[in-house]
């Protein structure tokens, strides 16, 4: 009897411990179910229970940020400042757009004027010559040559006029009767023609020699001089010349083009005095000066 009672006494504490464990597990299961519905693990009791059971507590959601009135005022001020800057930027863009349109219009106008100027220069034959000094010199020489041809043609017309005048005078001397007024008109025209011929003869420049020529043309910007002697007097391309005024040598030249009665030369050396039309021109016969 005592042995049976002792065995029962040993079993009762073990059963009590087992029952307490079962009750604790049941409480945890029910607590987990409630926690899924309501996340209130932040309660100190729940945290204590989680610690006791070895379960980590679930962190709570972050609280909402609070903004002070001063910060709100500052944000509104920044917003207004950004709006003002945006308005200024839009006005600047409009101004620049208008300026760009005006600049494009002016550029188009200048382009048309430049194209028109190029067309005129091309029509005058200056478009290509303005880029090359040698071409400019050649054009000048050509112009001088054309002038010489015009002078030659003028001389021929003058001779024909003189012959016509002489023939008319002979005719008037041999003619008998006729209209006296018509005779007077013819004589007046002949006198006028003779006066014109005499003036033309005086205006024609005299041809010089290699040692006694003169400057008849000058283009300072091209350093170009035209002399009144040419191939007929023995001038050759590359021949050295000098310009003198009295006994003073004003400049030294080099012939670059030769025509029948004139020549063109480039200035190689010049002093303080500038060359003038009418200065004496002669060949530089110094032994140390080459022809080329």
Per DSSP, 222 falls in state: G
Radius of gyration of the chain (CA): 60
| Residue position matching structure tokens 């080329």 | 292
Is residue 255 within 8 Å of 241, Cβ to Cβ? yes
Full 3-state SS string of 8-38: HHHHHHHHHHHHHHHHHHHHHHHHHHHHHHC
pLDDT tens digits, one per residue of 75-105: 888 999 999 899 888 888 888 887 888 888 8
pLDDT tens digits, one per residue of 179-223: 666 667 666 766 666 666 566 555 545 555 677 888 988 888 778
Which comes out higher in pLDDT, residue 26 or 159? 159
Is residue 58 within 8 Å of 39, Cβ to Cβ? yes
Which comes out higher in pLDDT, residue 46 or 197? 197
| Integer Cα distance of 32 and 46 in angstroms | 11
Angle between helices 44-53 and 2-37 (to 10 degrees): 130
Assess whether pLDDT exceeds 90 at residue 243: yes
Task: Give the pLDDT of residue 22.
Answer: 53
Task: Give the pLDDT of residue 279.
Answer: 92
Distance from chain centroid for Cα 224: 31
Is residue 280 within 8 Å of 264, Cβ to Cβ? no
Assess whether pLDDT exceeds 70 at residue 239: yes
Predicted structure pTM score: 0.34
Task: Give the pLDDT of residue 49.
Answer: 47
Task: Give the pLDDT of residue 244.
Answer: 92
Among candidates 57, 45, 55, 60, which has minimal Cα distance to 25? 55
Average pLDDT over residues 161-174: 66
**What are the tokens at 112?**
């048309």
Assess whether pLDDT exceeds 70 at residue 26: no
Among candidates 220, 221, 281, which has minimal Cα distance to 255? 281
Most confident of 24-28, 116-120, 192-196, 214-218: 214-218
Assess whether pLDDT exceeds 50 at residue 17: no
Burial class (CB in 10 A: 0-12, 13-18, 19+), 213: buried
Average pLDDT over residues 165-177: 64
| Integer Cα distance of 84 and 166 in angstroms | 100
Among candidates 37, 29, 86, 90, which has minimal Cα distance to 55? 29
For the chain, what percent of residues have pLDDT higher than 90?
A: 7
- The pLDDT-based confidence of 284 (bands split at 50, 70, 90) is confident
**Which helix (DSSP H) or strand (DSSP E) does residue 252 occupy?**
strand 248-258
| Residue position matching structure tokens 């060949």 | 283
3-state secondary structure of 280: strand
Q: What angle do CA 141, 154, 136 make, to 5 degrees?
A: 15
Give every CB contact of residue 139 below 8 A, 6+ residues apart in sequence. Answer: 125, 129
3-state secondary structure of 65: coil
Range name among 122-136, 175-189, 231-245 with the lowest pLDDT average: 122-136
- The pLDDT-based confidence of 20 (bands split at 50, 70, 90) is low
Mean pLDDT rounded to a whole number for the chain: 71
């Amino acid at each position: 009897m005592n042995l049976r009672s002792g065995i029962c006494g040993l079993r009762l504490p073990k059963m009590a411990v087992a029952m307490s464990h079962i009750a604790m597990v049941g409480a945890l299961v029910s607590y987990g179910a409630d926690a899924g519905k309501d996340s209130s693990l932040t309660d100190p009791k729940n945290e204590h229970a989680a610690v006791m059971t070895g379960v980590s507590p679930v962190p709570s959601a972050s609280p909402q940020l609070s903004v002070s009135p001063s910060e709100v005022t500052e944000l509104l001020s920044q917003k207004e400042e950004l709006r003002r800057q945006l308005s200024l930027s839009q006005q600047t863009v409009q101004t620049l757009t208008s300026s760009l349109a005006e600049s494009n219009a002016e550029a188009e106008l200048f382009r048309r004027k430049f194209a028109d100027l190029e067309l005129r220069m091309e029509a005058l034959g200056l478009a290509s010559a303005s880029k090359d000094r040698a071409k400019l010199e050649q054009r000048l020489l050509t112009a001088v040559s054309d002038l010489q041809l015009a002078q030659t043609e003028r001389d021929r017309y003058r001779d024909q006029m003189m012959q016509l005048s002489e023939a008319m005078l002979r005719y008037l001397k041999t003619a008998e009767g006729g209209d006296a007024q018509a005779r007077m008109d013819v004589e007046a025209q002949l006198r006028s023609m003779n006066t014109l011929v005499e003036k033309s003869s005086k205006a024609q420049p005299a041809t010089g020699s290699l040692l006694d020529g003169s400057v008849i043309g000058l283009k300072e910007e091209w350093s170009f001089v035209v002399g009144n002697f040419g191939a007929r007097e023995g001038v050759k391309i590359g021949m050295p010349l000098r310009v003198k005024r009295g006994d003073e040598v004003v400049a030294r030249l080099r012939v670059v083009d030769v025509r029948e009665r004139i020549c063109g030369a480039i200035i190689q050396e010049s002093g303080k005095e500038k060359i003038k039309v009418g200065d004496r021109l002669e060949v530089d016969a110094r032994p140390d000066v080459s022809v080329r």
